[in-house]
Chain A
Amino acid sequence: MAILEIKGVTKSFGGVKAVEDVSVNVEENTLLGIIGPNGSGKTTLVNIITGFIKPDKGSVFFKGKELIGLPPYTITNLGIGRAFQMVKPFFHLPAFKNLIVPLSSKRVRSTSGGGYGDKDAIALDILEEVGFERDSSVPYKTASVLPHGYLKRLELARLISLKSEIFILDELFSGLSIAEVTSILPIIEKILFEGNTVIMIEHRLKELFRIANKVIVFNFGRIIKEGAPKEILEDEEVKKAYLGVEV
């Protein structure tokens, strides 16, 4: 059974149909890639899944439970973590204190017994996992002075600290160097290895197609193609819509 079922979701902003009749099944412990030109409705779909936007029509089921109508924090507490395309750290807090907020959430408190006081240590462990050097001063620096790469890692760390079951990564690799991407890829593979599900919106197709199990292609709010990475690469329509005619 699919862990996340999206059925006939439609959303329009004014006259523009951002997402039109989209249905996707996400199988447990797989990596679903979502690609498509800018403005094709990928982020809107993520906003609908995570409760930030209410769709005009359609429904989303997580393990058989309807998500539409629930507020974002309840959906997060159910186990759907979401990283933002535009990084949204808590700028006034040190990096490791950024994780205190998700560690204080209902989901973490109910699963870990909510011991008070050792959150800093847990936060530092998670930061080390995503590549903050523990013995340097980086985890203690205020988020506003951290470079972009670290802020992206911080987004990932937030999802890990929430013990999410579905990781929705909205253009996690945008603005990162190749070296940074190659150092983050193993973290995503580890997340998958631990039995979680990952949904990635990505423009870096090379890296995405290496790890994705299934890829869907968006254009003008509709899914124009769905299949294994290899099929997508060979599809003529996809090439035209997104990849450019010469590949």
Chain B
Amino acid sequence: MKNRENYRKERIDRCIKARSDDIYALSSYKEMWYLIFPRVVPIIGIAILAYFLPLYWKKVVITTCIFAMLAVSWDFLSSCGLLSLGQALFFGIGSYTAGCLNHYFHFPIYLTIPIATICGGFISTILLLPVIRLRGIYFAMVTLILPLMLARGIEATHVFGGNEGITGLSPFPNVWVELTFIIAGMWAALFALRRFISSDYGLIFVSIRDNDRATMASGINIYAFKAQALFIGSSICAFCGAFMTHLYMFTGIPVFTMEFSILPIAASAIGGIGTLAGPLLGAFILVPLSEILREFGSLRVVFYGLVLVVCVVALPEGIFHYLSRKYNEMERWVRLE
């Protein structure tokens, strides 16, 4: 290295966003590659992984994608100031909607999933509409209770198959369709939400999280916006639920288990809250990790917990925040004037 005394280390932000999102990027191949690289690599990477892995791991990728979507939706809701502990609620409602449509009305699979997505979002929004004025932990408590209530309600009243659930639903033709379907859905949800939340309309959702009183004092009906956010977030979960129903050809009380609520939060915490892509990354770390740790038997939870703790302590901001900061910064030595 040259004589360091006359040099200083300069750190600059590439700041592409501030200058222009579109035109500037097209001015050179280098800048285009700079933008495309972090998007294309995971897309291709997951596609290759998914299609060339053995069948067991293909199934793991499918489960991971489902949890990744739940995590993205959780992060979207939290970006709008809706702290949810009840992804299982949205997930379960989607699952039961698809199951019932298929079982009682014999709707084909390509109808049940879209209908369950929309209806699931709609029903979840209606259910939570009375408590949409609540903030933070109070809203979270309601979302935590509702899936438990629904599960016990179904168990007690024996509707929709009661304890046994509904079995023998129509499956997907083969594993390739399953894979393509869920991976496409996941990327669509991620990129659509990321674009949406950085649009002028999406900024209003972020502003509600930052300060709902100031948003109200800006003439925005925050309850209408919260309801919209709830619909979008819960629709994504309902889609996952409907997909899983047909994947396992079964729907029942297990769709309301806490795992569907808690794992997305853990994934968001280690991936980086508020980025949407971070939770997806987190899910792709946590879910396969828990599969790999299976051979440790009872120690699995210990190692799993250890990884979680290390991640949260070492990178409290989240892995994605860290990576994107390192990627967007350039460091170079410049001569002192």
**A and B interact:** yes
List residues of A whose CB falls within 8 A of some B CB: 50, 52, 71-74, 76-77, 81-82, 84, 88-94, 97-98, 100-102, 104-108, 116, 119, 140, 158, 162
Asked if A90 and B221 make an inter-chain contact with CB atoms under 8 angstroms apart, the answer reads no
Asked if A93 and B207 make an inter-chain contact with CB atoms under 8 angstroms apart, the answer reads yes
Q: Which of B89-97, B174-182, B198-206, B309-317 contacts A (4 or more CB under 8 A)?
A: B198-206
Instruction: Write out the residue numbers on chain B whose beta carbons fall within 8 Å of the beta carbon of A158.
Output: 214, 217-218
Instruction: Write out the residue numbers on chain B whose beta carbons fall within 8 Å of the beta carbon of A52.
Output: 213, 216
Interface size on B, residues (CB 8 A): 21
Asked if A91 and B210 make an inter-chain contact with CB atoms under 8 angstroms apart, the answer reads yes
Chain A residue nearest to B223 (CB atoms) is: A71
Instruction: Write out the residue numbers on chain A whose beta carbons fall within 8 Å of the beta carbon of B18.
Output: 94, 140
CB of B170 closer than 8 Å to a CB of A: no
Cα of A89 to Cα of B210 in the assembled complex, Å: 8
List residues of B whose CB falls within 8 A of some A CB: 18, 200-201, 203-204, 206-207, 209-211, 213-222, 274
Cα of A65 to Cα of B204 in the assembled complex, Å: 28
Cα of A107 to Cα of B201 in the assembled complex, Å: 16
- Which of B206, B213, B220 is the one whose CB lies under 8 Å from A93? B206
Instruction: Write out the residue numbers on chain A whose beta carbons fall within 8 Å of the beta carbon of B200.
Output: 100, 104, 116, 119
Query: Total number of A-B contacts with CB less than 8 angstroms?
Result: 85
16 CB-based A-B contacts, threshold 8 Å: A73-B217, A73-B218, A73-B220, A76-B219, A88-B214, A90-B211, A91-B210, A91-B211, A100-B203, A101-B203, A101-B207, A101-B220, A102-B220, A104-B204, A104-B220, A107-B219
Instruction: Write out the residue numbers on chain B whose beta carbons fall within 8 Å of the beta carbon of A89.
Output: 210-211, 214
Asked if B217 and A84 make an inter-chain contact with CB atoms under 8 angstroms apart, the answer reads yes
Chain B residue nearest to A162 (CB atoms) is: B219
Chain B residue nearest to A143 (CB atoms) is: B210
Taking the closest CB of chain A, its distance from the CB of B203, in whole angstroms, is: 5
Taking the closest CB of chain B, its distance from the CB of A154, in whole angstroms, is: 10
- Which of B209, B210, B214, B274 is the one whose CB lies under 8 Å from A84? B214
Asked if B210 and A71 make an inter-chain contact with CB atoms under 8 angstroms apart, the answer reads no
Taking the closest CB of chain B, its distance from the CB of A205, in whole angstroms, is: 26
Cα of A210 to Cα of B288 in the assembled complex, Å: 69
